[in-house]
Homo-oligomer: A and B are copies of this chain.
Amino acid sequence: MNRLYHYPLSPFSRKVRLTLAEKKLEVELVEERYWEKDPEFLRRNPAGRVPILKYGNRLLAESNAICEYLEELHPTPPLLPRLPEERYEVRRLVAWFDDKFHKEVTSKLLGERVFRKVMAAGPPESANVKAGARAIKEHLDYMAALLDQRRWLAGNDMTLADFAAAAHLSCLDYISDVDWHRSEVVKDWYAKIKSRPAFRSLLADQIPSFLPPPHYADLDF
């Protein structure tokens, strides 16, 4: 059985979980409190972070390398388009969310509000929370600008770019940090992706002492 070492509110773990589920690859989920640097976990991944996928007898690290590998081994249903120009746009947006959005928004909001607490690293820094709350607005507007012209973020088909974005936004939605009233197209996009069977396991996540709001798992929110 394949096994994913993950943390429920890690957007990088969620992107891989969505990819595995969309491709109907079964996986046993093992929650990993990676910041506790368990020596056994560090042996599995010298980079010391989640997700790690045990796939057959290989241990795979780095969420993008994992997703591209799964896409090459299991091309159906496709999560990357066929034309180089379209594939470029998917990869650009995956980097946008996993790098820029993560730095400006996820690390500021989820990092301060949740990870500081579970890692016992002190109270949230309010300046960071404020900066994250400001930045998410610009990002939602950027997504709206894309979705005004496309059915999905990178084009007319659902791709890894949608999974990367939804992985971050679903973590933030778990702590009620997404203002879904800001853009109708973004809300419609999220309702569409949230209702996919691949999303179910994410909507069932529960972190002790951080219960999600009722709308989190409501497909019609």
CB within 8 Å of B: which residues of A? 46-47, 58, 60-62, 64-66, 68-69, 72-73, 84-85, 87-89, 91-92, 94-96, 99-100, 142
Contact = CB atoms under 8 A, between A and B. Distances in A.
Count of this chain's copies in the oligomeric assembly = 2
A94 B47 CA distance: 13
Contact of A96 (B62, B73, B94): B62
A62 B46 contact: no
Given A69-B87, A84-B72, A87-B72, A95 B64 contact: yes
Of listed A62, A72, A94, A142, residue having the most chain B CB within 10 A:
A62
Contacts of A100: 47
Nearest to A98: B99
Contacts of A60: 88, 92
A147 to B, nearest CB: 15
Nearest to A60: B88
20 contacts: A46-B142, A47-B96, A58-B85, A60-B88, A61-B92, A62-B92, A62-B95, A64-B64, A64-B95, A65-B91, A65-B92, A65-B94, A66-B88, A68-B87, A68-B88, A69-B84, A69-B85, A69-B88, A72-B84, A72-B87
A84 B55 CA distance: 13
Contacts of A88: 60, 65-66, 68-69
Contacts of A87: 68-69, 72
